[in-house]
Amino acid sequence: MGMPPVPEPSTPDPVGGPVESSRRDAPALRGAGRKGPKRLPRRAAAGRRSFTATLRSLDELAASGARVSVRIDDLDGGSTEVLAGDDFITLPVGGLGVVPLLIEAAAAFETGRLDPLEIIDRASVHGAAHGGIWQHLKAPALPLADVAMLAASSGDALAVNALLHRVGLQSVRARVEQLGLRRTALLDRFRDDRGPDDAPHLALSTAREMAQVFAGLVNSTIISPQVSAQVAEWLSLNHDLSLVASATGLDPFAHENDQHGLLFINKTGRAPGVRAEAGVLGGPRAGISYALIVNFDDLSIAHRLRAHDAFRVLGVELMEYVY
């Protein structure tokens, strides 16, 4: 990569603290191949292609000033690390940070603390025109379970705000701590404008922790098998397949039962200068969990498309890995 690995701090800062230093060096990508100028990722089976195109694309992004964090784990090898680059660094992740909220909502449904059929009126919730469809629907109220589904499947800002209002930010933070996510935090609701008294970002996390969460969901180890299954079911309906998932060829609106046996769940996050995605991809040869976070200067469409291209390159090589 041309740059030595950045050593991980021995004692991580608590979640919710300041984002790591503004270092803009190339990410410290590491793998099993330690010899020579390239540090190639480990492989669970011989003959699989390395992530050379991904490494090159992320190097170029980092050289342009972007902050890049990536993690890939092979689930068939007991969550063996395949590729990691600055995966411990805390970065803004946009709507990807909604995943802990979905986990806490599912846990509350399971224990009976919340009724999934409780009706939520959107007029009682802080609005946000950030994105989503509920604000355009005629139905002014929905059951809480449907609100959670909208939050997971379309990143609906109003649905996220409604779910967070009902579940409670403190409950989500307690759940994050209980899950051992030291560098993940849901800080605030969606807002059209963030003032000086508001949290600077919706959420923070790391590529390592997001990859671990998605691995836990498909392995049924997040709280309970029922909670894991519920959250995975919501996320399997996600419509945003435009980044890493663009390489899968799946139908964005109907991909939970793919005819070619591809297992896939994901969640994306978007904010000004922020693109993030985490998920699980399973094919005939392997199953992997992954996360990629890119923070960049969103100065033009060209800057944005360059960031998007890195996600798509990763998607192609992930498909080659599992197929």
Strand 203-205 relative to strand 185-186, pairing? antiparallel
Percent of the chain with pLDDT over 90: 72
In a domain, 249, yes or no: yes
In angstroms, the CA 85 to CA 28 distance is 5
Per-residue pLDDT tens digits for 217-230: 999 999 999 999 99
Given a contact cutoff of 8 angstroms between Cβ atoms, the answer to whether 40 and 30 are in contact is no
| b/e per residue 223-257 (b: at least 16 CB within 10 A) | beeebbebbbebbbbbbbbebbbbbbebeeeebee
Among left, alpha and beta (phi > 0; psi -120 to 50; other), residue 99 is alpha
Structure tokens given for 285: 């040869």
In a domain, 304, yes or no: yes
Nearest 5°: the CA angle 55, 57, 63 is: 100
Amino acid at 224: S
| pLDDT for position 49 | 58
Given a contact cutoff of 8 angstroms between Cβ atoms, the answer to whether 86 and 69 are in contact is yes
In a domain, 21, yes or no: no
Q: Which residues pair with 290 in a beta bridge?
A: 72, 279
Torsional sign, CA 213, 262, 71, 18: negative
Per-residue pLDDT tens digits for 164-212: 999 999 999 999 999 999 999 999 999 988 889 999 999 999 999 999 9
Given a contact cutoff of 8 angstroms between Cβ atoms, the answer to whether 293 and 276 are in contact is yes
In a domain, 224, yes or no: yes
Residue 247 DSSP one-character state: G
Structure tokens given for 225: 């098998």
In a domain, 38, yes or no: yes
Given a contact cutoff of 8 angstroms between Cβ atoms, the answer to whether 272 and 191 are in contact is no
Structurally, the chain folds into a number of domains equal to 1
Strand 287-295 relative to strand 185-186, pairing? unpaired
Percent of the chain with pLDDT over 70: 85
Choose the most confident range, by mean pLDDT, from 32-36, 38-42, 302-306. 302-306
In a domain, 15, yes or no: no
Residue 33 scores a pLDDT above 50: no
In angstroms, the CA 59 to CA 82 distance is 17
Helix (H), strand (E) counts: the chain: 8, 11
CATH number of the domain that residue 236 is part of:
3.40.710.10
Per-residue pLDDT tens digits for 269-294: 999 999 999 999 999 999 999 999 99
Distances 298 to 91, 120, 265, 291, 302 between C-alpha atoms, Å: 16, 36, 27, 21, 9
| pLDDT for position 27 | 44
In a domain, 131, yes or no: yes
Q: What is the domain extent for residue 268?
A: 29-322
Percent of the chain that is helix, strand, coil (3-state, to 5): 35, 15, 45
In a domain, 23, yes or no: no
Residue 6 scores a pLDDT above 60: no
